[in-house]
Amino acid sequence: MDICALCGKEAVLELSHIIPKFVFDYVKRTSVTSRFRTPLDNPDVPKQDGDKKKLLCGECEDLFSEQERLFANNLFHKFQKDNIQEINYDRWLNYFITSVNWRVLKEDIEYFKTDNTVTSHEIQLMLEAEQTMRDYLLKRRDDLQYIENHIFLFDEVQTTNNSEVIEGGPNVFFRRSVFGYSYVVHNPTGIYVYSNLAGILIVTIVKSIELEVWENTKVELGLGKLQMPQNISSPLMDEMIEYMLESKKVSLSLAQKEKLVERVKKDPEKLVNSKFIEHLKQDQNLKRDF
């Protein structure tokens, strides 16, 4: 018996995915090798599943499951198949974003407590946000106070005025990766929790800085509609580009490259038809807007 991180009750905890399993299943199913790698966490070791923690009791796990199903069926798979240009949603979208980023924030707070670059005031803001998000997920409250949820769809990147972005290969990076982090900006303070779900960026803004732009991205609590194009101007995007460039510096070992080549030789058609090749071609066609 342990303590559930959401409801606080003593229970047998289940192995909960931090980011829902259906996202990793999609990336594996549409890859060349039916597995995936994490660039900054030993890319030589292919993975079959995303990070899991003994975090939730069965009852709380069920609270999240229905919203995950709605997100997967109404948005995720439609975007991956058709690159939809419009998002119609109900309360399930705000709940889903909160449930994923609450898990990310919950994990990261413990790390930040030992990180000397984060102030006690910033940690306190994160703790207060985690409590508000938890109360909302448990349906103890109907709103998120000052906290905002946003969603951004990484449709094909066709032009850029940043040469580093071209080198990073944004189409492959964002459409073929899954990750979630909390990000803190200092002086002035900005706090963001974000997850990239194979090209769907979900962001929880705990505290923004002045002059940020989030156009056609904010998710309301109830019924709503978002239409493309979307536009973001925020320190968070600089952080994500930096992460992309850092990931680009890490490469497979020669032995792993040879294994990958042999695997592709056995089924070359899978490579040709993979989503990886589709997005790689998009990066090769990326035009410089400068």
Alpha helix ranges (H) inside 16-119: 21-29, 58-71, 77-82, 91-112
Angle at which helices 58-71 and 91-112 cross, to 10°: 120
From first CA to last CA, the distance across the chain in angstroms is 60
CA distance 160 to 34: 31
Contacts for 116-123: CB closer than 8 Å, 24+ residues apart: 117/184, 117/186, 118/184, 119/186, 121/189, 122/184, 122/186, 122/189, 122/191
pLDDT of residue 51: 82
pLDDT of 290 reads 59
**Distance of alpha carbon 114 from its chain centroid, rounded?**
24
pLDDT, mean over the chain: 88
| Cα–Cα dist 280/135, whole Å | 42
User: Residues of 187-222 as b/e, b for ≥16 C-beta within 10 angstroms?
Assistant: eebbbbbbbbbbbbbbbbbbbbeeeeebebbebeee
pLDDT at 274: 77
**For residue 117, how many C-alpha atoms fall within 13 Å in the half-sphere facing its CB?**
6
Q: Which is nearest to 5 in space by CA: 93, 105, 96, 119?
A: 105
What tokens were used for 86? 């419009």
Quote the pLDDT of residue 36. Answer: 65
The predicted pLDDT at position 48 comes to 66
C-alpha–C-alpha distance, residues 219 and 98, integer Å: 11
User: Which pLDDT value is given to residue 116?
Assistant: 85
CA distance linking residue 15 with residue 52, whole number of Å? 6
CA distance 187 to 109: 20
CA–CA separation, 105 and 50 (whole Å): 17
Q: Rounded to an integer, what distance in angstroms lies between the CA atom of residue 2 and that of residue 55?
A: 9
pLDDT tens, per residue, the chain with 290 residues = 799 999 999 999 998 899 999 999 999 888 877 666 565 565 656 566 678 889 999 999 999 999 999 999 999 999 999 888 899 999 999 999 999 999 999 999 989 988 888 999 999 999 999 999 999 999 999 999 999 999 999 988 888 888 888 888 999 999 998 999 999 999 899 999 999 999 999 999 999 998 899 999 999 999 999 999 999 999 999 999 998 988 887 776 777 677 767 766 777 776 676 788 888 898 888 877 75
Question: What is the predicted pLDDT for the residue at 152?
Answer: 97
Can you give the pLDDT at residue 37?
Answer: 57
Going by the DSSP 8-state scheme, the letter that residue 145 receives in this structure is T
Q: CA 61: distance to chain centroid?
A: 19
